[in-house]
Amino acid sequence: MTDSESNRETKKPRPAWLDWLQIFAVAAVLAFVLNTFLIANARVPTGSMITTIMPGDRVIGSRLSYHFEDPARGDIIIFHAPDEPETLYVKRIIGLPGDKVTIRDGHVYLNDSETPLEESYIKEPMKPAALQEFQVPEGAYFCMGDNRNGSVDARYWKNHYVYRDKIVAKVLFRYWPGIKALK
């Protein structure tokens, strides 16, 4: 018998718990990397995005999207709330940097247009309220919920704008209670 054969015979088998520990450690590291650098996972607790996203829905966003493209009007984003930076919100981008957003007679107008913004995604017509005008600063976005009559959004925040460095991710799809692409 050679020395290598002797070593194989006397080597004790690796305990099963050590294999399981290794599997859990690798899974934890992968989950950390995914959640920190690639995706954002969010649960939407309110009805501010009804009917696009319902209360309790869970969504996945891409943290990488805006490294390759600029945020666009209509994108649904996950961001740090301007008035509560520790809280994440999910809303739709309505106004881009440099835009003038006017809310008049229950409609949104951009850059002094006479035609309201086409918004097929809103739950129901917005209830008319007092005239509101917002001039979106460079590097910032004006965001609103799709459920305009039930959303506390940029119209009501003390700090009306979401700056690009506060955007966490572009929402790609809902995964709970079923998979649905979001636009």
**What is the DSSP code (8-state) at residue 12?**
P
- Token duo for residue 86: 């520790």
Neighbours of 78 (CB within 10 A): 22
What sections of the chain are H helices per DSSP?
Answer: 3-10, 16-33, 65-68
DSSP assignment, residue 50? T
Residue among 48, 62, 65, 151 flagged as catalytic: 48
Task: Decide if 48 is catalytic.
Answer: yes
Rounded to the nearest 5°, which phi and psi values hold at 25? -65, -45
Of 91, 123, 166, 170, the active-site residue reads: 91
- For residue 166, indicate whether it is catalytic: no
**In whole angstroms, how far apart are CA 57 and each of 23, 32, 67, 76, 178?**
30, 22, 26, 14, 9
Q: Which residues are catalytic?
A: 48, 91
